[in-house]
Every structure is written in structure tokens, then in C-alpha cells.
Amino acid sequence: MAQSQSDALLDIGQLLKATRKGRQLTQEQVADIAGISRPRYREIEAGSSAARTTTLINIARALGLELMLVPQAMVPAVDALLRPHDDLDDFPAFVAHPDGDLGV
Amino acid sequence: MAQSQSDALLDIGQLLKATRKGRQLTQEQVADIAGISRPRYREIEAGSSAARTTTLINIARALGLELMLVPQAMVPAVDALLRPHDDLDDFPAFVAHPDGDLGV
DNA sequence: CGTGAATGATATGTAAATGGATCTTATTTT
DNA sequence: AAAATAAGATCCATTTACATATCATTCACG
């Protein structure tokens, strides 16, 4: 059916890593701004640990991202809006991807 | 500057509650689908405790929502896309709102 | 009114996130 | 190549998420 929690964590980690590199920041810098330790940020980026909601929000903001909860039916539209995001720096937008197999 | 973590949790809780009521589900039903206990879901909905990332994803999905990480610069656009969402049932879309005071 | 369902709220115990220290292994940089 | 910096990885102590049980309160409805 869909992505397991582990997969979601891995995906989030990948996005964080890609965004961080796009911003040319070190793990320590991001961890610092987000107010967590580097070992912890490392685990979150590696997807081997499920951060608290508040921690994830802090990390996201440290990277210039915002956490949003979007109606599943709107995900494709939002995705489409985000993809052609060719700015100075472009990061992929993360979706928790149930799979994409909604009957939209 | 911006929203504290506590405020973010309260906002998330409000969205969850509004969405749940829109879907006419009980706390127990959502908790059940999300795989957590009712007291636990109650606390998260009340914003008095920060769920793990995986838990939040599960709850969101139980309510037909998806967790997304969006570049802050794109938040207004996504918000605009989400607001006129007058479907069969319409839920507000959550944003972790740093405040809206980005120089966009 | 009163009966039951939904919700608010708390307590105890377990599991997992987090911080801090430390060590190793890349990856740069000079 | 050596030095420095970043990243991978593991340990222990503390905090907190979460389950389960329980009771109070509110709310819908006959």
C-alpha cells in the first residue's frame, strides 16, 4: 500500500540532507541553529530516529523550510507548484508520500 | 520574531481537531487508525505534547492529510492554493507559520 | 431527567528521543 | 602528505513520548 514510517523517515532525512548541502551548511551548523546536538541531527538526517514534532519544525526552519499538513487530495497540486521552483537555490519538496496512489 | 514550539503544537492540534470534526470522527477512531492510544491522541490534539514525526504522519494520514516540508518562500503560494479549497469537505491547511514575516 | 458516548484529565511503567563525550572514518585544504 | 574539518558511529544519563488503566465531566438523545 504505502510507505512505512521508516521509509518516511529516510525520505525526510534525504530532503534535509539535500537542503542542507544546497545551503552549504554543516550538520553542526544546522544542529546548532535547530537547538539540538550534532549526533542527534545526524541520526535524524540518516533517518534512524524519529524526531519530535517540535524538533522537526526547528530543523526545517533552520534549513528555510516549513512543515505543512496538506489535504491528500491537494498534494499533487502542491507538488506541481513546488517542482518548477527554479530559484537561486532549489530544493526538492518533501511529501510523506502515502504512495501517490490516491484516486486523484 | 515567531511562533514558539508550544504555539506550533497548539496550531497543529487545532488543525487536527478541526479536520477530525470535519470528518466526523471520534478521538478514539483517529487514535485507533493512527495506532496510538486515545489519551495520547488527546494530548497531541490539545497541543500539550509533541508527537514523534512518525506518529504525526500516522495521525495526519488517519485524517486524510499529508505532512510536507515546503521552502519558506513557497509557503504563501501553497497557502493561496490551499485556501480556495471548496470541495465536499474543506479543512484548513496547517503551516508552522514562522510568522509570515519573511521578506517575500 | 437519566443513560451512554465522547472527551478531559491523571498516574504508573516502558520505550525511545536527546544531550554530551568520545572515537573513528572520510573529505577537504594547505 | 599532513593537517584540519566534517561526518559516521557508539556510550551513558536524562527527558519525554506513549500504553494502559482509571475516574470525572460534558454532551447528545430517548
Q: Do B69 and A98 touch (CB under 8 A)?
A: no
pLDDT score recorded for residue A6: 82
- Select from B40, B66, B75 the residue whose CB has the most chain A CBs within 10 Å, as the one to mutate to test that interface: B66
pLDDT of B1 above 70? no
Give the amino acid at B9: L
Q: How far is it, in rounded angstroms, from Cα A69 to Cα B103? A: 23
pLDDT of B62 above 80? yes
pLDDT score recorded for residue A104: 39
pLDDT of B23 above 90? yes
Q: Please give the DSSP secondary-structure letter assigned to residue B52.
A: B
Confidence of residue B30 (pLDDT cuts 50, 70, 90): very high
Confidence of residue A96 (pLDDT cuts 50, 70, 90): confident
- Work out the mean pLDDT of chain B and round it to a whole number: 88
| Domains of chain B, CATH where assigned | 5-82 (1.10.260.40)
pLDDT of B35 above 90? yes
Residues from chain B contacting residue A82 (CB–CB below 8 Å):
70-71, 74, 78
pLDDT digits (tens, 9 = 90+) for A12-48: 999 999 999 999 999 999 999 999 999 999 999 999 9
pLDDT score recorded for residue B69: 98
- Residues A59-85: what's their mean pLDDT? 94
Give the amino acid at B26: T
Q: DSSP letters of A16-65? A: HHHHHHHTT--HHHHHHHHTS-HHHHHHHHHTSS--BHHHHHHHHHHTTE
